[in-house]
Amino acid sequence: MHVRVVGCSHHNSSVELREQLAFSATQVIPALAQFRSQFPQAEVVLLSTCNRVELYTTVASPEQGPSAEAMRRFLAEFHGLDPVELGDMLFVHDAREAIRHLFKVAASMDSMVVGEPQILAQVKQAYQLSLDGESAGPAMHAVFQAANRVAKRVATETPIHRKRVSIPSVAVGDFARGFFERFERKQILVIGAGEMAEETLRYLIDEGVCDITIVNRNRERSDTLVQRTAGNSADWEQLFELLIRADLVVSTTGASEPIIRLEDFQRVAPGRFQRLLFILDLAVPRDFDPRIGDEPNVYLYSIDDLAQVCDENRRQRQHAWPAAEKIVDQEVDRLMTELHHRATGPAIRQLRAQAEHAKDEELLRLMNKLHDADERTRQEINQFADRLVNKLLHPPLESLRDESLNGTPQGLLDALKRLFQIRD
């Protein structure tokens, strides 16, 4: 089985590129279906978050599935982009490196904020959406189950996740806290009602905010979030009115384009009377036109602006890095061996079946001649036949297992099929 991932992340691409390639929740399953219609032999999972867009495929062999270039082209053309213009801006990992990359992503070792808690849930959700869309099968199940196991091991066996820091905590604790000395009298506007909004809101509540308004296109979701946390909800149509009154805005929607354009903000700005406005735009694609940050008395920060603080977070966890890397390498070895051995499974089962069939035929022929043999003698003959078959099969099967440690033993497997006349 061959695993490949093509994509981009905060490590190698700008927020502008990521927001162009981002998939909304409603786009994922149709995108997977479209991909499968083009490449029916491939299983596929699409992971799209604020910090990464990654397309994973598994196929029986590299020749059977989509090329890296075809995967790049799919990501570009789905969003109406020119694949040529993307050039080398998308990374490609194959086989062992693709699996290793997924394991580090799931364990939050590749995150902007190392140890942040959301990424594993996002990886699980991406796999579940693939299952819902009938785009994942046994091969992808093995890969993503292993990724979940790695994440749990890293979390429990290393201190990387202890005192873990998430993007919302960095946004509130390092950015907003550095801007406001006190939060008690500040009017907070939260746009969006998803997990990122809820976590950010909880950090703000811990900082002492009292005046909170949550607005979401689906009023029911904002009402529910208010019940779980604090504050009040408002209708989406009140957004501009609320923006006039706000001191701090946290925006986390899944909109595919800015919800506040420059001209929108310029219309409401006079009503603010030049009061300072602090905006944390944690959405990808961004909710606020980045040009709004150039307006007087506006401080606008996006995901990428958190990078410096997140780099410090990574440095503080460097002492735990070797242990986490060791776990990842162990689990990559384990899965690669399992996958390579799985590729030999059908041939091994057929070889054993052929041997068992030949043994049973010869035993039947022999027993028909030994009319006077007692039960003990018959048992000895059966045991002898079993031992003989196992000893004859042991060398070729052991060779297959040994070769599986280094990859799918295709040459040895083909030779075995020819020698024993095994048909696919």
**What is the set of active-site residues?**
50
Does residue 285 have a cis peptide bond before it, meaning omega lies within 30 degrees of 0? yes
HSE (side-chain half, CA atoms, 13 Å) at 415 = 8
Please report which helix (H) or strand (E) contains residue 146, including its range. helix 138-157
Task: Please return the burial class of 265, using the count of CB atoms within 10 Å of its CB with bins 0-12, 13-18 and 19+.
Answer: buried
Residues 6+ apart with CB under 8 A from 283: 50, 192, 251, 252, 253, 254, 255
Q: Where are the alpha helices (DSSP H) in 158-284?
A: 167-170, 177-179, 195-206, 219-228, 239-245, 262-268
Q: What is the DSSP letter of 12?
A: T
Q: How far apart are CA 197 and CA 168, in angstroms?
A: 8
Pairing mode, if any, of strands 91-94 and 2-9?
antiparallel
Q: What is the DSSP letter of 286?
A: -
Cβ neighbour number for residue 155 with a 10 Å cutoff: 19
Angstrom distances, CA of residue 60 to CA of 220, 316, 333, 401: 45, 41, 19, 18
Q: Could you tell me if 147 and 58 are in contact, meaning their C-beta atoms sit under 8 angstroms apart?
A: no
Q: Could you tell me if 76 and 17 are in contact, meaning their C-beta atoms sit under 8 angstroms apart?
A: no
